[in-house]
Amino acid sequence: MNNQTTPFMPALLVLFCCSQACSTPTTDESDSDTGTPEQPVLYVVSMMHAEDAINFMDLEVAFNTMAGPLQELDALFSEHGAKTDFGPDWTFILGVQAWGPTLLTDHLAAGHGLHTHAHETSRSIKEVNDLLLEVGVSENRVANGGFKQEGPDGQNWVGYLAQQTDDSSQPLFTTAVAYKDADTQLSNGIGICFRPSTSGDWTVHDPEGPLWYIGSNALQSVGGGALDFDALRDWIDDRLANLDPSKVNTLYWHDSLHKYGQPAQASERIERWEQELTEYFDPLVADGKIVWKTFAEMSDVCQAHEAEF
């Protein structure tokens, strides 16, 4: 699947039925008031992960070494009106419990997002979500995990996420995110949101599907979505030139907290972020081409435009 294709056919129907009055996700609802032609926008989030390979709960120095850059990045992104969405796997959340009890709630209070990120090496996605509740995250509806799992009746990984429930038997998640195809672990090339089928091929849209999927449109050439500063601008320029005006267009990359594990390395990356935000992203945001969102906010945009899909 490439930029131009979508995982389902209703797009054609929408294009056929939709007159010019049909609003597509655009920068500013006032476009129609000013008579300016509406342009599709690209919703962007900076995804950050903390992997469970480090036992943060036993290593106060390691925890603080990486929590510091996380806070610096949050502040830097906030200065630029930009959004990060953090997915700590279970060892980092236990580290929060031990060494930084307000880290995640401060992150949310600053307007950034959190998602449940579980490789399920030893804790299930439900258990990781429960740990988030224990450190004061009152609600989290975005899941990143379960990639190798099958749901009930042999359903796919999205079916597995959809069957997760809270203590009141209510669905735990409304939204799934991933930058790689669950089965192949390669970039899936999807750059929109849709409701994935929970049986068979998850890339097929099912209007009755219980979850949203938000695609990253990650590039194969940058390691399946891992952040590559040198490829970032070309990737996004290409995406902006190929937006689907009948869909909610989404993009995110995968930054890794362990890449900020040495002070010199962390400073270098944060400086690079400042440069990218100032030189590249800020003008695109000012032009209305890019809108920063958290995953939960992107999910709300998808929901708001569902009738047009």
Residues that bind Zn ion (CB under 5 A): 49
Least distance to Zn ion, CB of residue 277, Å: 24
CB 218 within 8 A of CB 163: no
Question: In the complex, what is the shortest distance from the CB of residue 240 to Zn ion, in angstroms, rounded to a whole number?
Answer: 27
Question: How near is the Cβ of 51 to Zn ion at its closest, in Å?
Answer: 5
- Which CB sits closer to Zn ion, 240 or 257? 257
**In the complex with Zn ion, which residue's Cβ is closer, 243 or 257?**
257
Question: Could you give the dihedral angle defined by the CA atoms of residues 181, 69, 55 and 227, in that order, rounded to the nearest 10 degrees?
Answer: 20
Closest CA to 53 of 134, 119, 147: 119
Q: Tell the smallest beta-carbon distance from residue 118 to Zn ion (Å).
A: 8
Which of residues 32 and 256 has its CB atom nearest to Zn ion in the complex?
Answer: 256
- The count of other CB atoms within 10 Å of the CB of residue 238 is 12
DSSP conformation class of 37: P
* CB 232, min distance to Zn ion, A: 20
Nearer to Zn ion, 49 or 239 (CB): 49
Closest to 267 (Cα-Cα) out of 77, 72, 137, 90: 72
Task: Tell the residue number behind the tokens 């995640």, with chain if given.
Answer: 104
Q: Which is nearer to Zn ion, 49 or 269 (CB)?
A: 49
- Identity of the residue, 195 or 254, whose beta carbon is nearer to Zn ion in the bound complex: 254
- Please, how many CA atoms are within 13 Å of residue 26, restricted to the half-sphere of its CB? 14
Distance of CA 236 to CAs 215, 230, 253, 273, Å? Answer: 14, 12, 11, 15
Closer to Zn ion by CB, 49 or 107: give it: 49
DSSP codes of every residue in 150-166: --GGG--HHHHHHT-B-
Nearest to 212 by CA among 82, 302, 124: 302
Which residue is at the shortest CB distance from Zn ion? Answer: 49
Minimum CB distance to Zn ion, residue 275 (Å): 26
3-class SS of residue 48 = strand
State the minimum distance, in angstroms, from the CB of residue 202 to Zn ion: 19
Contacts of 28 (CB under 8 A, 6+ apart): 288
